[in-house]
Structure formats: structure tokens, C-alpha cells
Amino acid sequence: MMSHLAFVLIAYGVTAATLAALIGWVLMDQRGRRAELAELEARGVRRRSAENEGAGHVQ
């Protein structure tokens, strides 16, 4: 019984660590993309989708 419990606890631990790593990766990547977007906007580059905002344009 103890080896089964150890297996289950290790499996949950590995799963939790993997999910935490993936969430951390996504959050760090989001921070990077926002910084890149802010830099581009500061240089005057605009998104193409910004031209259609508020126009009621449905794609």
C-alpha cells in the first residue's frame, strides 16, 4: 500500500510542478510580448486591427 501511495504522491507532485512551470512560462512570455508591443507602439508602429476598431466590422 505504501508504494502505491508514494507513486500517487509523486505523480501529483510532478503534475503540479509541470503545471506551475507552464503557467510561469506563459506569464513570462506575456510580459515579454507586452514589452515588445510597448516598444513598437513607442516607435509609431500600429496594429492593423486598430484601423478596424469601432467600425462594427465582423470577420
pLDDT digits 0-9 by tens, 17-38: 999 999 999 999 999 999 999 9
> What is the three-state SS of 33-49?
HHHHHHHHHHCCCCCHH
For residues 32-57, give the mean pLDDT. Answer: 80
Angle at 22 between CA 7 and CA 30, to 5 degrees: 170
Model confidence pTM above 0.75: no
**pLDDT at residue 45 is higher than 80:** yes
pLDDT confidence of residue 57: 54
Higher pLDDT, 23 or 49: 23
Taken as a whole, the chain contains a residue count of: 59
Higher pLDDT, 38 or 55: 38
**pLDDT at residue 54 is higher than 80:** no
